[in-house]
Chains A and B, each alone.
Chain A
Amino acid sequence: MPQEKKVVIKLENVRRNFQVGNETVKALRGVSFEIHEGEFVTIMGTSGSGKSTLLNQLGCLDTPTSGEYYLDGISVRTMRRSQRARLRNRKIGFVFQNYNLLAKTTAVENVELPLMYNKDYTAKQRRQAAIEALQAVGLGDRLEHKSNQMSGGQMQRVAIARALVNNPAVILADEATGNLDTRTSYEVLVLFQKLHAEGRTIIFVTHNPEIAQYSSRNIVLRDGKIREDTYNPNILNAAEALAALPAPQDE
Chain B
Amino acid sequence: MSFTNLLKIALKAILSNKGRSFLSMLGIIIGVGAVIVMMAIGQGSKQSIREEIQKNGTNMLTIRPGADMRGGVRLDPSAMQTLKQIDYETILAEAKFVNKVSPEVSTSGQAVFGSNNTTSTCYGESPDYLGIRLWEVEEGIFFTEEDVNKSAKVCIIGQTVVKELFPNVDPIGKTIRFKNIPLRVIGVFKGKGYNNWGMDQDNVIVSPYTTVMKRLAAQTHFNSILCSAVTEELSDHAIEDLTEILRRTHKLKDGEEDNFTIRSQQEWMETMSSTMDTITIILVVAAAFSLLVAGIGIMNIMLVSVTERTKEIGLRMSVGARGLDISNQFLIESILISLTGGILGVLFGALLTWGCNAIIGYPAVIPAWSVIVSFAVCVAIGVGFGYFPAQKAARLDPIEAIRYE
Hey, which bits of chain A sit against chain B, CB under 8 A? 56, 59, 61-62, 81-82, 85-86, 88-90, 94, 96, 100, 102, 104, 113-114, 116-119, 162, 166
Contacts and interface: CB of A to CB of B under 8 A. Distances in A.
Contact of B5 (A94, A104, A116): A116
A162 B320 contact: no
Given A100-B311, A117-B1, A82 B316 contact: no
Contacts of A119: 2
The DSSP consensus for interface residues of chain B is: helix
A94 B399 contact: no
Contact of B320 (A85, A96, A100): A85
Given A59-B318, A116-B1, A96 B402 contact: yes
Contacts, number: 54
Interface in B278-312: 311-312
A166 B322 CA distance: 16
Given A61-B398, A100-B402, 12 more contacts: A59-B318, A61-B318, A81-B323, A82-B323, A85-B323, A100-B315, A113-B315, A113-B319, A116-B1, A117-B325, A119-B2, A162-B319
B402 A85 contact: no
B393 to A, nearest CB: 14
A113 B318 contact: no
Contact of B315 (A81, A89, A102): A102
Contact of A82 (B12, B324, B398, B402): B324
A85 B317 contact: yes
B322 A81 contact: yes
Interface in B313-351: 314-325
B315 A85 contact: no
B382 to A, nearest CB: 22
B16 interface: yes
A170 to B, nearest CB: 14
A61 B319 contact: no
A118 B319 CA distance: 10
Nearest to A55: B399
Nearest to A90: B320
B209 to A, nearest CB: 84
A61 B312 contact: no
Contacts of A166: 320
A113 B323 CA distance: 16
Contacts of A104: 12, 16
A29 to B, nearest CB: 20
Nearest to B397: A61
B3 to A, nearest CB: 12
Contacts of B398: 61
B323 A117 contact: no
Interface in B371-405: 398-399, 402
B312 A118 contact: no
Interface residues of B, number: 22
A117 B320 contact: yes
Interface of B: 1-2, 5, 12, 16, 311-312, 314-325, 398-399, 402
The 3 closest A-B pairs by CB, nearest first: A89-B320, A114-B319, A117-B320
A104 B18 CA distance: 14
Contacts of B311: 100
Contacts of A81: 322-323
16 contacts: A56-B399, A61-B399, A81-B323, A82-B322, A85-B317, A85-B320, A85-B321, A85-B323, A86-B320, A88-B319, A94-B318, A96-B315, A96-B402, A100-B402, A117-B322, A119-B2
A69 to B, nearest CB: 15
Contacts of B402: 96, 100
Nearest to A81: B323
Nearest to B15: A104
B403 to A, nearest CB: 9
Contacts of A85: 317, 320-323
B396 to A, nearest CB: 11
A119 B399 CA distance: 24
Given A56-B399, A61-B399, A102 B321 contact: no
A162 B325 CA distance: 19
Contacts of B5: 116
Contacts of B2: 119
B323 A89 contact: no
Nearest to B325: A117
Choose among B319, B398, B402 the residue with the greatest number of A CB atoms under 10 Å from its CB: B319
Contacts of B1: 116-117
Contacts of A113: 315-316, 319
B322 A62 contact: no
Contacts of B319: 88-89, 94, 113-114, 117, 162
Nearest to B5: A116
A96 B292 CA distance: 42
A25 to B, nearest CB: 15
A102 B311 CA distance: 9
